[in-house]
Amino acid sequence: MAKIVFDEEKCIGCGTCAAVCPENWEMQGDKAKAKSLEVTEVGCNQQAADSCPVSCIRIE
């Protein structure tokens, strides 16, 4: 089980996470939102974290 840590305050709403990982990320207004913060497989969430320009997504 992997835990996603998302700092919504830091999010600039660029939409990169939702573009690279639409299975778990979506835009809600001007911020991104994870559909689930606990996932069994990291999958594209790591790509979303690596692609975030302000590093507000971490995988633990």
CB-based contact 16:51 (threshold 8 Å): yes
pLDDT for 33: 97
Q: What is the pTM of this model?
A: 0.93
CB-based contact 36:42 (threshold 8 Å): no
36-55: pLDDT as tens digits: 999 999 999 999 999 999 99
CB-based contact 6:31 (threshold 8 Å): no
CATH 3.20.20.70 fits 2-59, yes or no: no
Boundaries of every domain in the chain = 2-59
CB-based contact 26:33 (threshold 8 Å): yes
